[in-house]
Amino acid sequence: MTERLCLITALFVAGVGIAQAEPAFQFEPASNRVVSISNLYNDSTCDPRPFRGTVAKRQFDDDRVTVAGFILEFPDGSRHFVGVDLDTQGLTLNASGWVIRGLQTLLTQGNVVDVTVKSCDGYLAMLDAVLEVPPGRPLPVADPE
């Protein structure tokens, strides 16, 4: 019995170690919209970095629906491209639609957003999480370096 329990525990721990989290979103029912999305980039070897900025421009995949990347402008006027690598495997069709729609609305040009990006090589930043910043909140000066 003890050997079986140890084997089950070892298999569970091994499975948890390699499991990848699915994209998650927070939905605001009152306004029928997505207000945050997380777990978009699951590479645990990359360094996460939080930023706040204004979406200056966005780029779509060939399907013209899925956001492929966007330019985030910082208060000092500098801009940085942030890639979006959306993997909807494991999500229901409904959840996948909300994540795609959420990225479209949260990353609309002119919106102020809090983002967490992951950078693996110090150069290319990939979006891991995005959260809407309610209007009227101050935009602090952030150092993108």
Sign of the Cα pseudo-torsion (106, 112, 113, 118, in order): positive
User: What is the C-alpha radius of gyration for the chain, rounded to an integer number of angstroms?
Assistant: 18
Instruction: Please choose, from the candidates 86, 51, 88, the residue with its C-alpha nearest in 3D space to the C-alpha of residue 72.
Output: 51
Q: Residue 98 pairs with which residues in a beta bridge?
A: none
How would residue 139 be classed by pLDDT, with cut points 50, 70 and 90? Answer: low
CA distance 16 to 120: 22
Contact 115, 106 (CB under 8 A): no
How would residue 16 be classed by pLDDT, with cut points 50, 70 and 90? Answer: very low
Q: Pairing mode, if any, of strands 67-73 and 125-132?
A: unpaired
Does the pTM exceed 0.75?
Answer: yes
Count CB-CB contacts under 10 A for residue 143.
8
* CATH code of domain 21-132: 2.40.50.140
How would residue 145 be classed by pLDDT, with cut points 50, 70 and 90? Answer: low
Instruction: Please choose, from the candidates 3, 145, 144, the residue with its C-alpha nearest in 3D space to the C-alpha of residue 72.
Output: 144
